[in-house]
Structure 1
Amino acid sequence: MLHQNTLKKIAPFFCFILILLLISGQAKTQVIQLNSPTNIQLNISDKIATYEDSSAQLSLGEVIKKGEFRPNYNKIANFGLTKSNIWIRIKIVDHKIASDDYLQLKSPNLDKVVFYYPERGQFKAVKSGNEVAIEHREIVHQDPIFRLNSHTDTTTYYLKVSASSPITLPLFIGSYSTIMQGLSMESNVFSLYMGLIVTMFLYNIFIYFTVRDRSYLFYVVYIFSVGFTQLCLQGYAFSLIWGDNTYLNNQGLVFSIVFVGITSILFTKEFLHVKNYYPKLDIYLKILILLYLICLGISISGFPVEAQMALQLLTIVASISVIVTGIAIYKKNYRPAFYFTISWSCFLIGVIIFILKDIGIFSYNFLTNNAILIGSGLEAVLLSFALADKINIFKKEKEESQSEALRILTENEKLVREQNVLLEIKVKERTEALENINTSLNDALSNLKETQSQLVDSEKMASLGQLTAGIAHEINNPINFVTSNIKPLQMDIDDLNELINMYENIDPAQDLSSQLSSIESFKRNIDLDFVREEIKSLLSGIGEGAQRTAEIIRSLKNFSRLDENDTKPVDLNEGLNSTLVLLRSTFPGNLQIVKEYGELPKVECMPGKINQVFMNLISNAIQAIKGKASTNAEETLHIRTWQEGDEVKISIKDSGSGMSEEVKQKIFEPFFTTKDVGEGTGLGLSIVFRIIENHRGHIDVVTKVNQGTEFIITLPLISR
């Protein structure tokens, strides 16, 4: 209620100022008559005629010939942002110009200003504006000032103006002393303003280093940007910073507006805690910052006029947004927002008065010409009050917090005294309980270690059982093949023995013809040629079975070094082949093994452990293929080896069901398994990971659901 009453009290004051400004702006006549000495600055802004050359190419003669000058009935001619050349005609009658009378154009940020005065029937030109260094001007000042050189009763002067900033034409005539007095007053006012800004800057930066509140830091940056912007707007930056460089001055003016706009929004966000109160409004303010940066980019790209047009609209939107933000957060009972809103309102009123002066609603006087400086100064002071009030809030909160802490401390002390006796009893009981728990935990740890050892042994037994089953199946096939060939071979041998006996039992004393006929009949019955071929075929099959049995025994011998702990040079390709032979019985009928072995040097490793890795990975691949929901006509197991520098790589890739990303992240964890209960211990891949890690290698997994899995093992050539 206190702040609302304050608002009601100051509102009539602002209305009174606006009424005075409106009353002071009365229309003037359109004729410049200097019938008295110009011992005061005479405002002739509403007694000129103007012409806008949109082509920006016409000369003075062409402009005079066109004769399209229009009288300016506004208090100040305002053309805003334009790429045109603006021509001003000034006609002075009934007066002989004194030798020290001057024409002052109070607009310091114009790129080009050319003053034409008549002399001996011709017009002479004097240049000013930012294209002329300040030290080269007749009056060393950022405002274009020209001597009125004429001695006739009626004299016509011309001005040509162009700029990439807004063009306003406040024109004054006065004597040298009057002009210098006005410049001195303006300089003093600006010096007071900059003194205020510097004071606020130093004071608040000191406060920041004292309290370490980020709001002060943002305020200091904002105050700096405000002072820098006013330096640019008042024309002081032209000579003091940019070194009379027109391009840098124009870009600096845009940069200063962007700078002050962004810092004001950042200070608003930090000081009012917008993100906490209105998160969506915080996002909106961030968008405004982005738009400011886009405008700066447009200006740097070579379009300063277009950039300033956009900045004019954006600045109005941002100013209103900041005030609305302050009001909205003040309604949340955040007291500093009250001073913040008042300070921004003062600045915005100053901007509005300055703009209304430019468009001719208010008259040009000390108050309207310095409205932005006054509003900005008031804003800086009131924002300091807001920050100071914030400290008072912090101080009050701290005192309340300390009082509450003291109260709680007193109560706690009482409770400590009352519970001290109980605490000792509780500690004793808790100690006994902890000792019992510790004993239980030690027992549980021992059981866990024993269980883990049993699970590891179980995994080894499972691998051994799988290996034994594979060996039994593989050996059984060739043995059955040999066994099945023995009986027909025995029968064929018996037939041959009987034939041989018939030849041995021939009696020469008897009829040889009948005996030989009987032998020939027997030969036809047993089909002797077939028996000979069959014997060859059966012997070949028995030899092949014996060879396959020998191959299995050789692979088993190569694989059986599971408990070897010493490293030795090993042919990894041979280990892979041995593993495939032992697991051949588990292959589905539609599986195709694709082996793509590279020329590998022997690798220093523990062969039994590496063979165990191959066994686990290939077994998992086969199970993944068998476990697919829908199998293909042909499934593949692709095994590839190659060398890269001082490392060898082994890739085992299947066309199985693949894994999700979630499963992939857990496959090397002990006891993790996707198999049904009783089908796996979940230690297989954990053991694989540990073996590869012990060999100073690493294993990578590439997988996608329904697209198979690839394990890539990397081993160093020499064990380190």
Structure 2
Amino acid sequence: MKKIAVMVCLLFCGFCSHAIDTLTIHKNQSVLLTKRYFTQLEDIGGNMSIGDIQVSKQFHSTHFEFPFIRYADSALWVKMILRNKTIEPYLPVTISSGVIDGFDMYDVGTTTKHIIHLGSTDVQENSNNTKQISRVINCPVLPDSVCIIYLRIKSNDSMAIPIKVQSADFYLHNSIFENLTLGFFMGIIGIMIFYNLMLYVLVKDRSYLFYIFYIVFLGLTQAQIRGLGVNILPVNKLLLNNYLIPITRICFWYSILLFIHEFLQLKQNLPRKYYEYFIVLVVLSGLPVIAILFKQTTLAFSLITISAFINSIILLIIGVYLYFKGFKPAKFFMMGWGLFLLTILATIARNKGLIQYNDFTANIILYSSAFELIMFSVALADRINFYREQNNQAQATALAIARENERLITGQNFILENKVKERTQELIESNHNLSVTIENLKSAQIQLIDTEKMASLGQLTAGIAHEINNPINFVSANIKPLRMDFVEVFNLIELYQELEKNPGDIEIQKKAEAYAKEVDIDFIRAEILTLLEGIEEGAGRTTEIVQSLRTFSRTDEPVLKPMDINRSILTTLVLLRSTIPYGIEIKPLLDKLPLINCYPGKMNQVFVNLINNSIQAIKAKPVHNNEHVLITTKDSAENIIIEITDTGIGMTEEVKQHIFDPFYTTKDIGEGTGLGLSIVFGIIEKHKGTINVKSSPGQGTTFTVTLPKDLQ
């Protein structure tokens, strides 16, 4: 009896300032904590303790149906009286989905001196705490007993907080149902991701890729709202609630905007002035990121709510506009996404306490999302039919074109056959004429090359004739005095022969002695030897010239032979010696070189052309001073290098670009064919070598020839 009296007094004290009903829970029952069962107190700053709360006179009723958090960085205290009419010694108290930073329960029992702290700690009190912020707290209330409960709730998101008090058996069955519902939803999420990923791989349409992003962030958002994030991700709750959850929601809306932009082809279908509004939505959806960077989490959630509301309204308007414009995908958009956006608006209104909270409104996003996922998957699958129709139309068009072409071809076959015969005859004649032309061109080419060779030989002829004529004249000039010396010697010999026949003839003896004194035998002997040496020198010079001519004459030998490059250069200089004007010095600086395989005659022609060009370049200068041609040879690991440098007039860059072109010449008409350097280039190329030129106007010219040692 005494115990009942104490309970009556306690209940009277509880209602002395604000009368509230006792929340009685029966077996297999669940009751939402509405305003008839609680009073609330806003703890601005969140610094009040349970002791402060117990003596506070600031608890009041609210015009909201459910407890409502309105202020940032504050805690909401809720006071209620529970009666347990079940057979279990506890009642599960659950807090609805949302961003919950703290959920604590204090049981003051039947006396104010007996306080029990139940539930989780505030995540902001210990940022390193990785313990789950429990959304379910078992309140220990003995069967048929009453207790006073204080709830402390914290969240950076301004919203209504639906709280359920349930019987233990009802909570057990209901949690199984909710888990099955959420599992079914997540199963649909996984199936849709896989299904649309396969479609993206097959079709390569970016709509599927953006839709996959949307499905992923939709699943993450719903998982976070239902408190699954802390179970899956090993991160502290401060990081999860203040950063990961708002960023996930921002990404969720960006995935929506990207998908709708691609699916409805907004850039093509919306007028430019309306498309600019869509760009505004993109910018608006990114504003919460700034608040997150400045650690204004409450502001970030408010901006996300505002942008979600505006995005939903404008996207619905865009869908209606395109639907009435006749754009076919807008039909699926209005069926699926229209409902989804309406449920988003309903969810925002529910969170703000504007519409009633019940089991249907609590899971309306899940239901509409499942329907929307199915509808949009159908819509995206319809794109495959669209692509198939396009492919069939293209094939039908191609078949029609093929048949038309076949008809045209069949109708023109006879005409074409006749034309082919006529054209074939013309081609036969043209081919014959072309063959004749080619033969003429080959003959002309051979003649041009021979002409160049003859031109080179012609330039050498005068010098060679002069070179041969000098020793021959030298020999001829010595023959006459040599003959006279021999006549005198022969006459003296005849006198001695007569004296031998008549040894006692004093007159013949005197005559012989007198003649011997007259002709001076010693002088004749010395003169004969001198004349013979002169003849021998002339013959040697003639032999040298003939040998050089013989070497140079092997121009057309088609066989590779070992050759001494230095000797070839010296032979060329012998032949050109008489053509080199006085005042031009030839400076050969020849390194010791091994024999290399080459076409000797053709290499001789290269050296004749290059040296002769250098001499002509020097002769073309108006003023001469210390003119020379420097010829150097160098031995490297794989090549032999020949450099011919002159002090001539040089060349401009434009001339250098064309010097190896056939028939290109800077000489006057009649002075050159323009084939010399072209033939040189062809010979060097045939030897698999290179020829480079370095020249500047007035600075002379250097030709560098590189020949491989291993030519086979």
Structure 1 length as normaliser, TM-score?
Answer: 0.51
Code of the aligned partner of 1:424: F
Give the alignment partner of residue 216 of structure 2, picking from 195, 218, 225.
225
1:194 aligns with 2:186: yes
- The structure 1 residue matched to 2:165, chosen from 155, 164, 174, is 174
Asked whether the equivalents of residues 633 and 642 of structure 2 are also in contact (C-alpha less than 8 Å), the reply is yes
Answer with 1 or 2: which has the greater Rg: 2
In 2, distance between residues paired with 1:278 and 1:639?
Answer: 80
Deviations 1:28-80 (A, max 9, x none): xx979351314412257994524346xxxx79599989x99998876675689
Match of 1:88 in 2: 75
Quote the residue 2:490 is aligned against: none
Measured in 2, the distance between the counterparts of 1:76 and 1:403 equals 67
Give, as a single letter, the amino acid of the residue that structure 2 aligns with 1:40: V
Question: Counterpart of 1:382 in 2: which secondary structure?
Answer: helix
Whether contact under 8 Å (1:91, 1:154) holds in the other structure is no
Q: Any residues of structure 2 matched to 1:308-707 within 5 Å, and which?
A: 312=304, 334-340=327-333, 343-391=336-384, 393=386, 419=411, 423-441=413-431, 443-444=433-434, 447-448=437-438, 450-451=440-441, 454=444, 458=448, 566=560, 688=681, 691-692=684-685
- Alignment check: 8 A CA contact 2:564 2:596 kept: yes
What is the SS of the residue equivalent to 2:120?
A: strand
Question: After superposition, what is the alpha-carbon deviation per residue over 1:527-582, rounded to whole angstroms, capped at 9, x for unaligned?
Answer: xxxxxxxxxxxxxxxxxxxxxxx9xx99xx9999797763758779x989x99xx9
User: Does the 8 A contact of 2:40 with 2:76 survive in 1?
Assistant: no
Say if 1:206 and 1:160 are closer, same or farther in 2 by CA, change over 3 A.
closer
Query: Does the CA contact (< 8 Å) of 2:24 and 2:83 recur in 1?
Result: no
- RMSD between aligned residues: 7.6
Could you tell me how far 1:277 is from its partner in structure 2?
A: 7.3
8 Å contact kept, 1:651–1:711: yes
Question: Within 2, Cα distance between the matches of 1:398 and 1:97?
Answer: 70
CA apart distance, 1:90: 1.7
CA contact (8 A) 2:78 2:151 kept: yes
Which shifted more, 423-432 or 198-207?
198-207
What code does the residue aligned with 1:377 have?
A: A
Residue 424 of structure 1 deviates from its aligned partner by 3.0
How big is the shift at 1:440? Answer: 0.8
CA separation in 2, counterparts of 1:286 and 1:689? 70
* Structure 2 residue identity aligned to 1:339: F
Instruction: Give aligned pairs, total.
Output: 564
Measure, in 1, the Cα distance between the counterparts of 2:20 and 2:205: 59
Q: What CA deviation, in whole Å up to 9, does each residue of 1:176-219 have, x standing for no partner?
A: 4355555445434333433444555566677779x857478547
Question: For the residues of structure 2 that align with 1:284 and 1:452, how far apart are their CA atoms?
Answer: 73
1:105 aligned partner: 95
* Alignment partners' CA distance in 2, 1:331 and 1:640: 90
Does structure 2 retain, via aligned residues, the 8 Å contact 1:88–1:159?
A: yes
2: CA distance between counterparts of 1:307 and 1:682?
87
Alpha carbons of structure 1 residues 161 and 620: separation in structure 2 relative to 1, 3 Å: farther
**What are the residue-to-residue correspondences of 1:26-41 with 2, within 5 Å?**
33-38=20-25, 39-41=30-32
User: Deviations along 1:603-652, whole A, 9 cap, x unmatched?
Assistant: 876688789999999999999xxxxxxxxxxxxx9999999986789999
Query: SS at the partner of 1:357?
Result: helix
- Correspondence for 1:17: none
Aligned counterparts of 1:323 and 1:334: Cα–Cα separation in 2? 15
Q: Write the letter of the residue equivalent to 1:387.
A: L
Is 1:197–1:223's contact at 8 Å kept on the other side of the alignment?
no
* Shift in Å, 1:170: 2.2
Counterpart code for 1:100: Y
Q: 1:413 to 1:298 in 2, by over 3 A?
A: same
Cα distance per residue 1:68-100 (max 9 Å; x no partner): 9998876675689xxx8x442324155568953
Equivalent residue letter for 1:127: S
Give the counterpart letter for 2:372 in structure 1. Answer: E
Q: Secondary structure at the match of 1:146?
A: strand
Residues 487-544 of structure 1, C-alpha deviations (whole Å, 9 max, x = no match): xxxxxxxxxxxxxxxxxxxxxxxxxxxxxxxxxxxxxxxxxxxxxxxxxxxxxxxxxx
- What is the CA–CA distance in structure 2 between the aligned matches of 1:673 and 1:316, rounded to whole Å? 81
Matched, 1:158 2:145: no
| CA deviations over 1:195-253 (Å, ceiling 9, x no partner) | 444555566677779x8574785477357525643454345753675367769967875
User: Equivalent residue for 1:520?
Assistant: none
Which residue matches 2:491? none
Q: Taking structure 1 as reference, are residues 464 and 212 closer, same or farther at Cα in structure 2, changes over 3 Å only?
A: farther
Partner of 2:24: helix, strand, or coil?
Answer: coil
Q: Could you say if the C-alpha distance between residues 412 and 565 of structure 1 is closer, same or farther in structure 2, counting changes exceeding 3 Å?
A: closer
The 8 Å contact of residues 288 and 318 in structure 1, kept in 2 or not, is answered as: no
Whether the 8 Å contact between 2:97 and 2:227 is mirrored in structure 1 is no
Distance, in Å, in 1 between the alignment partners of 2:165 and 2:381 is 46
Q: How much does 1:383 deviate?
A: 1.7
With over 3 angstroms needed to count, the CA separation of the structure-2 counterparts of 1:353 and 1:316, relative to structure 1, is closer
Q: For the residues of structure 2 that align with 1:59 and 1:317, how far apart are their CA atoms?
A: 37
- SS of 1:428's equivalent in the other structure is helix
> Is this contact kept in 2: 1:562–1:612, CA < 8 A?
no
Distance in 2, matches of 1:190 and 1:96, equals 31
Question: Does the Cα contact within 8 Å between 2:316 and 2:341 map onto a contact in 1?
Answer: no
Aligned equivalent of 2:104:
115
8 Å contact kept, 1:201–1:223: no
Q: Which structure 1 segments of 5+ residues have no match? A: 1-29, 480-549, 587-594, 624-636, 704-708
- Residues 214 and 270 of structure 1 are in contact (CA less than 8 Å); yes or no, is this contact kept in structure 2? no
- Does the residue aligned with 1:147 lie in a helix, a strand or coil? strand
Tell me the equivalent position of 2:120: 127
Alignment-mate amino acid for residue 343 of structure 2 = G
* Alpha-carbon distance, 1:433 to partner: 1.2
Identical residues among aligned pairs (%): 19
Match of 2:11 in 1: none
Cα 1:719/1:399, change in 2 over 3 Å:
closer
Letter aligned with residue 436 of structure 1: E
Partners of 2:372 and 2:615 lie apart in 1 by 78
Question: Deviation digits for residues 643-674 of structure 1, max 9, x if unmatched?
Answer: 99867899999998658xxx99xx89988999
Q: Retained in 1: the 8 A contact 2:207–2:262?
A: no
Give the secondary-structure state (helix, strand or coil) at the position aligned to 1:33: coil
Provide the C-alpha distance between the structure 1 equivalents of 2:154 and 2:688, rounded to a whole number of angstroms: 82
Which of 230, 233, 237 is the equivalent residue of 1:242? 233
Would you say the 8 A contact 1:51–1:70 is kept in 2? no
Whether the 8 Å CA contact 2:40–2:67 is kept in 1: the answer is: no
CA 1:265/1:339 → structure 2, altered by over 3 Å: closer, same or farther?
same
SS at match of 1:40: strand
1:6 matched residue in structure 2: none
